[in-house]
Amino acid sequence: MKEEIKPIFKSGVVAILGRPNAGKSTLLNAILGTKASITSPKPQTTQFSVQAVFDDPRGQIIFTDTPGIFAKTDNPKAHDINLTAEHSLKEGVDVVVYVIDKTRERGIEENKVLGIIRKFDMPKILVINKIDKKHPDFIEQYQFLKEEFDATIELSARSHENINILIDTIFLFLREGEKMVDSEGMATPVLNMDSKLYLEEMIREKAFLRLRREVPYSIRVVVGNIIEKPKKNMTVIEAKIFCPARYKKMIIGAGGSKIKEIGTMTRRELELATNRKIFLDLRVEEE
């Protein structure tokens, strides 16, 4: 009788890098099939690395979605964000996924990201994102990069086109290993955010989506009490958006219209995710 050959189980840490708004968070969400990172049209929505686990019969991957890298770092916040992204590569990363947006021209930010990636010796995958968009198209400006990378994947994070090819390619570069995280029974694939931080990030995302470029990076969200009411199948969440005084009226909106819309967007997403009624007490306060 022939001995059964067990399939090789692989594991490793994969860092997703790129300049602001390249589609890194959208890509991570597409890979996971659920929401792990917040997204918005506003650059630098992600301000710290988000770690999430991906399980597959072939193995387990810990993805790190890093903040987009700014070209200029005069702003202390931008400087901290750049350091966060660079430090991600120093923490046992096995594969780097470098995401570019082919609808944007190359610039200083792109060169800065490349400079960081070139410092490290590990398998690197070039991801050309947004192939679902035909115009504008600057893909020719990035063709030379293919020679520097171990593999190149053209995909659309938004439409999930070729996501499976990217996952297959990542597994090719991972080594045989054991599970790094016991993910059984986890409510979310996110590893480094507790429930309050996850809610804070969700509310901040909705503020960016609603207010677009009007909202400064300096806003922050703090979730206070989370009260469960089992008999009513309801969760009550108290949260505050803190901002500089000059932005308070803008975020609240005429008659409270904007803050109400931010709260409604958050509540609807949470209700869909939890199948519970959500009461969100959301207020705006000056820093």
pLDDT tens sequence across 127-143? 999 999 999 999 999 99
Q: Minimal CA–CA distance to 96: which of 145, 161, 56, 142?
A: 145
Q: What is the pLDDT of residue 73?
A: 42
At 84, is the pLDDT very low, low, confident or very high (cuts 50, 70, 90)?
A: very low
Domains, the chain, ordered by start: 10-176 (3.40.50.300), 195-286 (3.30.300.20)
Query: What pLDDT, in 10s, does the model give residues 253-284?
Result: 899 999 999 999 888 877 776 677 889 999 99
User: At residue 74, does pLDDT exceed 70?
Assistant: no
Minimum mean pLDDT range among 46-55, 118-127, 234-243:
46-55
Q: Are 146 and 95 in contact (CB under 8 A)?
A: no
C-alpha dist (Å) from residue 244 to 200, 211, 222, 251: 18, 15, 15, 11
At 82, the pLDDT band (50, 70, 90 cuts) reads very low
Q: What is the 3-state secondary structure (H, E, C) of 194-262?
A: CHHHHHHHHHHHHHHHHHHHHCCCCCEEEEEEEEEEHHHCEEEEEEEEEECHHHHHHHHCHHHHHHHHH
pLDDT tens figures, 204-229 = 878 877 776 666 556 788 989 888 88
Give how far Cα 188 sits from Cα of 1, 10, 34, 181, 227, Å: 43, 22, 8, 13, 20
Q: What is the pLDDT of residue 80?
A: 39
**In this predicted structure, what is the pLDDT of residue 190?**
58
Residue 38 has pLDDT above 50, yes or no: no
Alpha helical stretches, state H, the chain: 24-32, 76-88, 108-117, 163-173, 195-211, 248-252, 257-274
Count of alpha carbons within 13 angstroms of residue 93, beta-carbon side: 25
Question: CA 245, 249, 251 angle in degrees (round to 5)?
Answer: 95
**pLDDT tens, 193-206?**
456 777 887 788 78
Tokens 């490349």 belong to 114
Please tell me which residue, 262 or 72, carries the higher pLDDT value: 262
pLDDT tens for residues 131-180?
999 999 999 999 999 999 999 999 999 999 999 999 999 999 999 998 88
| Residue 146 CA: distances (Å) to CA of 59, 104, 105 | 27, 17, 17
